Structure 1
Amino acid sequence: MKKIITALATLLICNVLTAFSQVKEIAHILSPGADTKLEVALFAQKQLKYRVIKKGEAVIGWSELGLKLNLPDTTTGLKISGTTRYTHCEKIVTQLGENQVIYNNYNQVKINYLSQGFNLAVVFRVFDGSVALRYLIAAHDKQKEVNILSEKTEFKLPQAYTLYQYHQESVFKPIPLDSLTGSSDLPSTLAGNNSYISIGEADNTGYTKAELAHGLTKGSLQIAFTKDKQVNAVLPFSSPWRTIGISETATGLHYFSELPYKLAHPAVSQIANTPLAGKLIRAQLDTQSGFDCIDFAQKMNFQYIMFDAGWYGPERSASSDPRVPIQAIDMERVVKYGQQHGVGVILYLNYIALQKHLDEILPLYKKWGIKGIKFGFIDGLTQSGTKWLATAMRKVNDSGLILNIHDNYKPTGLSRTFPFLLTQEGVRGDENSPDAFHTTVLPYTRFLAGAADFTFCFPNPKQQFAKNLKVSKAQQLALTVINFSPLQSIFWYGKPKDYTNWDEIAFFKTVPTVWDRSIYLQGEIGKNICVARKNGKKWFIGSAAGKDEWRGSLSLDFLDEGKSYQATTWEDAGNQKLSKKTFSVKKGSSLPFYIKPAGGLAIEITPG
């Protein structure tokens, strides 16, 4: 019996050693605060894999890495040629963000390897609570380009998660991870047992719009090309970053909303002036409406008006010329009137006109005195589309015109590279009638990628916009705080002379669009959200309920010690009215609240 036990023990040890010999550790690296760990290993000499550990627990299990190129694989496996490490500490100061100061601190490892006859590398950056990875393909002495047939990037989840599936401007569909069919947009959020994960993208300047699909094994996801069959890579080549943010709470996910910005390249163009953030109202397509909107914008402390589709003729007609306004609009008079009242003009352009006339219109619009451009119906899905967009962003940025990109484009941090890119759509805003479930999912999903133009449709006595609005008036006010965008489109379908409800819209006059500091105070995905943001000496708070009522209390611990403040609240009353109250508060004050289903609460807190 003793000999049998000894033989079994020897066999077990041999099997373990044999299995272990098939796994070779390549690198492990800790985040600056040491709470997040990345491990990279080579399995069976042919599969490069990674895993992510947060506070001692594997959040991403061993997952495959790599690119499949359109070349025969003549080797038996991968050859690791070396690793390099780097530590980065950076303080970014911006006047156009959710926080004035962004700390970009990470530890990096670059792993060089030989595959399919090419020198490749995978770069990891490990932040506290998050990891980013991207692929590099080195220049080749015989080939100037290759095609990437697929990206092997995988995310294996050790526990069960609910995935919030969506595409650009669609509704959200919460489904068990293993029930995923088709794909889901990046960033996608997964909610588990006391664990939330956001998988996203950064610095896409010419790749296809990749998405998440179900992996080959249970509990896994992988990067999928859904719009292009392959990606052309001109060497040397860098892929976009794939990002993983990990939080124990839903509100903690917001910490990663600045991750794409951190990973994008800093601005390289030196422009004398800086972009002006602000709010706008959309004008009707005639000169008088331009004048009326400018008068209204001045009263409301708005910085811009916008002429939308049709100002140069039918937007989808190749014969419409964006260099010539329609006869109903005297653009010169409107621009001059705006300059006299401190209000700028933004012009919409369809993709057809942009592709044909972009180089001509940029200097022309500067000559006219135009302040910005809105792109419409662009291609933010294919590789050719994203390449064109990156070039167009650079040209508009270098011209000193602000930029708003609409329809299917979503951000990947490029507002850092091109500061005049203030916002974009890629969101189901009021144009598409989002309900209260949708508005309370967005802060934990799409807004983790960056700013979004929500196109608000606040009611007035003549028009309630019942088709568009599925949430209360107070929630509309609150969402201007919750939904970050340096350029906010307010009163999307409204006409200035119809807004006689001044007490209700007073909040829009004072609420800023950029912030010195932001705090996500409370909330749960799809249920509710409460965000506090500071600009100068003032604080603004936005709270929104989903389809169920929300009772709770709000602690004002973030206020300065020893100072007195006046709080003004806007909340829902009966008969679709708003109730406005003003009272004194201080640091540590606790405000009890009750928010009806699909309702909201907006607060402005002023010193003194």
Structure 2
Amino acid sequence: MRKVILSGMLCCALTATFTIDAVAANSALVSPDRRISVALFIDAHDQAQYQISHDRQPVLLASGLGLALSDRQFLNNIRSIKPSDITEINEHYQLYSGKQSQVDYSANQQQFVLTNDKMQQLEITFRVSNDGVAFRYRALEDKRIDKQSPKPVSVVEEYTRFNLPQQSRAWLQPIAEAQTGWEHTNPSYEEHYQMDIPVDQPSTSPAGWVFPALFKIGNKTDNTWMAITEAGVTANDHASRLQARSPKGEYAIGLPMAAEVFTGKALLSHDTLPLQTPWRVIAIGSLATIADSTLGTDLAEPSAMDTRFIKPGIASWSWGLLKDDATVYSVQQQFIDHAADMHWQYTLIDADWDQKIGDDKLKQLVDYAAGKNVGIWVWYNSSGAWNTTKYSPKSRLLTAETRQQEFAKLHNLGVKGVKIDFFAGDGQSMMAYYHDILNDAAKYELLVNFHGTTLPRGLSRTYPNLLSAEAVKGFEMITFFQEAADKEASHSAMLPFTRNLFDPMDFTPTTFNDIPNIKRKTTNAFELALPILFVSGIQHIVETPAGMKTVPTFVKSVMQQLPTHWDESRFIAGYPSKLAVFARRAGDTWFVAGINGEAEAKTITLDLSFLQTMGGNIEMIVSDGERGFQTHKVVLSAKTEIKLQGNDGFIIRITPKS
């Protein structure tokens, strides 16, 4: 194997068998704590490859790098790699809809310039932090040609591979084929996960697997995990996924399907040179390291937005349980009263409000709500010709002119936010549509929640007015399908480790009563834990005013005091689909929330010793049968025991003494 080892100014070619331990100490790019190491080399087929180790054990075997553009390609024709000096990256930023509000990101960075057989150049930037690795491509100008007549180029294919050890296991969500499903609305990232499967098992969909993709590396005794996603998707980029097939555990970057576009517009990334791709993001470490990581937003573009109008919150919402017939003036007024009674910040008025309520009556609702310190969100249909949905307002957001007219009207009415539904997928023109909506919404101080949508991929850092996005098989599916209700517990226990790992998620949780035509499989304590466990800048609670009257006062009090954002979060215990326990802090108040994703009862032992010094009042709520609640004494220690029924949950709240 022909090898080029790269670090600092070292660049040499040798004939040898490549092993990661041989280069990790002296020649690889390492994390600040030196536990993660990345090495680059050129293989015998003249292709650039990279390899990653964690604690000197391989977590990614030799994996391909490369990119093909419309007028050049970098695959089996790499002649040299030139490294830059290593630089330190230190950034601080704020999140309004994340698992922590203040984030510090530190990494070591190095650029590598690959030259092909035509003397064209591709720069690859690698960053290695204590919780993972990220890299992206930048096709450089050919100064002999490109400066004379600059022209747009487009991505044709990406050759990035992720070659996992074959004993590894995977937790992955298939992505639905474009233009399938109800009213041709797929893909919308709303499938159940395939859990604990071999890494060579193909997707059930030819469209592939969505990000984030979660893996346990090596054999059963190893405790190293990996989550793969992407970030920094600009308006010029398409969004990616993993291809459906992964022979011998080698995953490849996949492209969106042809139909995933704004009608008549582009599918794949394009720009004038230099053309830059999104970041490929690989979180690495223990399950706790993965669960606490913020890499998915660390690599997103910083915000340049005036954020004074951004206020996360909790919302009442009629459609979750009452559906279309409830979108009328009288019912929405009841849900405004409900939000006020619950001390929540918002009420969402869903689809067809323009027909069933209208602008004039909407203004009356906005003013009525404002008198109760409640803000109003309204629903919009994003779609043009790419699906056959009928819900309205529809087609008003398709052009900059009509979109800005609509947003100006909403701003003048006093509306605070828009929920926008039914996007077409991951093509470049559709990603540009997301960016255009977020930019225009910010001009009119509107908050945004995307539904029927793609994974946000860190967009909530770039556009803090994006408080949440669906991209999950959420509560509405439980109201439609018994299978979704049957899988609610295991599916929910997957989400903090996958879909909700880096990006806000609008699951729309929590009901304490019956769901029409559906047999619920979770306890009420499970439901109480969800709005604490799931992270979203706007949390839509589906329980109705009538339903909330059935719960004990101490449960209602918790729901009335749900935090609108989190300052800090910590993984406590869990395993994907089986158990999820997290501690989250808002101001001086800590919550510990946990759910059992399995149908069997279990006793869990938690290390809550870090909360012992907090003092204050400690309140624990657990189940009393399937639908009841009880408060329970708990001692916070390194070995706090909690008994859970099957599909059960609990919360602990620690508040400072008044």
Question: Does structure 1 conserve the Cα–Cα contact (< 8 Å) formed by 2:200 and 2:247?
Answer: no
In the other structure, the counterpart of 2:643 is 594
Matched, 1:299 2:341: yes
User: Any idea what SS the aligned residue of 1:558 has?
Assistant: helix
Matched, 1:177 2:199: yes
Matched, 1:446 2:499: yes
Give the CA deviation at 1:538.
Answer: 1.3
Aligned partner letter, 2:336: I
Distance 2:570 2:609 in 1: 11
- The alpha-carbon distance between structure 1 residues 67 and 328, as it changes in their structure 2 partners (threshold 3 A), is closer
In the other structure, the counterpart of 1:8 is none
In the other structure, the counterpart of 2:578 is 527
In the other structure, the counterpart of 1:244 is 282
Distance 1:540 1:109 in 2: 40
Give the CA deviation at 1:582.
Answer: 5.4
Q: Which moved more, 1:532-541 or 1:45-54?
A: 45-54
Match 1:431 to one of 454, 471, 476: 476
In the other structure, the counterpart of 1:364 is 409
Aligned partner letter, 2:575: E
Aligned partner letter, 1:338: A
In the other structure, the counterpart of 1:162 is 169
In the other structure, the counterpart of 1:209 is 239
Aligned partner letter, 1:58: P
Q: Which moved more, 1:432-441 or 1:546-555?
A: 546-555
Question: Does structure 1 conserve the Cα–Cα contact (< 8 Å) formed by 2:88 and 2:109?
Answer: yes
In the other structure, the counterpart of 1:3 is none
- The alpha-carbon distance between structure 1 residues 146 and 84, as it changes in their structure 2 partners (threshold 3 A), is farther
Flag structure 2 segments of 5+ consecutive residues without an equivalent.
Answer: 1-12, 176-188, 260-266, 319-325, 383-394, 479-483
Distance 1:418 1:502 in 2: 37
Give the CA deviation at 1:337.
Answer: 0.9
In the other structure, the counterpart of 1:42 is 42
Distance 2:429 2:31 in 1: 36
In the other structure, the counterpart of 1:410 is 455
Aligned partner letter, 2:629: S
| 1:242-281 alignment, distance < 5 Å | 242-248=280-286, 250-256=287-293, 258-271=294-307, 273-281=308-316
Match 2:618 to one of 546, 567, 572: 567
In the other structure, the counterpart of 1:97 is 98
In the other structure, the counterpart of 2:51 is 51
In the other structure, the counterpart of 2:550 is 501
In the other structure, the counterpart of 2:367 is 336
Q: Which moved more, 1:519-528 or 1:116-125?
A: 116-125
Give the CA deviation at 1:457.
Answer: 4.6
Distance 2:632 2:490 in 1: 30
Q: Which moved more, 1:508-517 or 1:481-490?
A: 508-517
Match 1:579 to one of 629, 632, 652: 629
User: Any idea what SS the aligned residue of 1:375 has?
Assistant: strand
- The alpha-carbon distance between structure 1 residues 159 and 341, as it changes in their structure 2 partners (threshold 3 A), is same
User: Any idea what SS the aligned residue of 1:295 has?
Assistant: helix
- The alpha-carbon distance between structure 1 residues 412 and 79, as it changes in their structure 2 partners (threshold 3 A), is same
In the other structure, the counterpart of 2:158 is 151
- The alpha-carbon distance between structure 1 residues 454 and 232, as it changes in their structure 2 partners (threshold 3 A), is closer
In the other structure, the counterpart of 2:5 is none
Aligned partner letter, 2:192: V
- The alpha-carbon distance between structure 1 residues 286 and 40, as it changes in their structure 2 partners (threshold 3 A), is same
Give the CA deviation at 1:393.
Answer: 1.3
Question: Does structure 2 conserve the Cα–Cα contact (< 8 Å) formed by 1:430 and 1:469?
Answer: no
In the other structure, the counterpart of 1:486 is 537
Aligned partner letter, 1:165: L
Give the CA deviation at 1:388.
Answer: 1.2
Give the CA deviation at 1:227.
Answer: 1.7
Question: Does structure 2 conserve the Cα–Cα contact (< 8 Å) formed by 1:457 and 1:468?
Answer: no
Give the CA deviation at 1:583.
Answer: 4.2
Percent of aligned positions that are identical: 25
- The alpha-carbon distance between structure 1 residues 20 and 157, as it changes in their structure 2 partners (threshold 3 A), is closer
In the other structure, the counterpart of 1:553 is 605
User: Any idea what SS the aligned residue of 1:120 has?
Assistant: strand
Distance 1:287 1:486 in 2: 26
Give the CA deviation at 1:478.
Answer: 0.7
The structure with the largest alpha-carbon Rg is 1
Question: Does structure 2 conserve the Cα–Cα contact (< 8 Å) formed by 1:570 and 1:603?
Answer: yes
Give the CA deviation at 1:214.
Answer: 5.8
- The alpha-carbon distance between structure 1 residues 19 and 556, as it changes in their structure 2 partners (threshold 3 A), is closer
Give the CA deviation at 1:185.
Answer: 0.6
Question: Does structure 2 conserve the Cα–Cα contact (< 8 Å) formed by 1:424 and 1:453?
Answer: yes
Distance 1:583 1:329 in 2: 52
Aligned partner letter, 2:560: K
Match 2:509 to one of 430, 433, 456: 456
User: Any idea what SS the aligned residue of 1:312 has?
Assistant: helix
Distance 2:529 2:244 in 1: 36
Aligned partner letter, 1:302: W
Distance 1:396 1:362 in 2: 7
Matched, 1:353 2:402: no
User: Any idea what SS the aligned residue of 2:243 has?
Assistant: strand
Aligned partner letter, 2:134: A
Q: CA RMSD for the aligned pairs?
A: 2.8
Give CA-to-partner distance per residue, 1:287-340, whole Å, 9 cap, x none.
Answer: 222221121111101100011111113xxxxxxxxxxx7459711111111111
In the other structure, the counterpart of 2:3 is none
Match 1:384 to one of 408, 418, 429: 429
Give the CA deviation at 1:542.
Answer: 0.9
- The alpha-carbon distance between structure 1 residues 65 and 348, as it changes in their structure 2 partners (threshold 3 A), is same
Distance 1:73 1:122 in 2: 14
Question: Does structure 2 conserve the Cα–Cα contact (< 8 Å) formed by 1:106 and 1:126?
Answer: yes
Q: Which moved more, 1:506-515 or 1:439-448?
A: 506-515
Question: Does structure 1 conserve the Cα–Cα contact (< 8 Å) formed by 2:512 and 2:627?
Answer: no
Give CA-to-partner distance per residue, 1:143-176, whole Å, 9 cap, x none.
Answer: 4222222110011112412222213110111321
TM-score by length of structure 1 reads 0.88
Aligned partner letter, 2:193: F
Give the CA deviation at 1:188.
Answer: 0.5
Aligned partner letter, 2:128: V
User: Any idea what SS the aligned residue of 2:424 has?
Assistant: coil
| 1:81-92 alignment, distance < 5 Å | 81-92=82-93
Flag structure 1 segments of 5+ consecutive residues without an equivalent.
Answer: 1-15, 314-324
Distance 1:349 1:198 in 2: 33
Aligned partner letter, 1:552: I
Q: How many residues align?
A: 572
Give the CA deviation at 1:556.
Answer: 2.5
Give the CA deviation at 1:578.
Answer: 2.2
Give the CA deviation at 1:27.
Answer: 6.4
Distance 1:137 1:97 in 2: 32
Give the CA deviation at 1:113.
Answer: 2.4
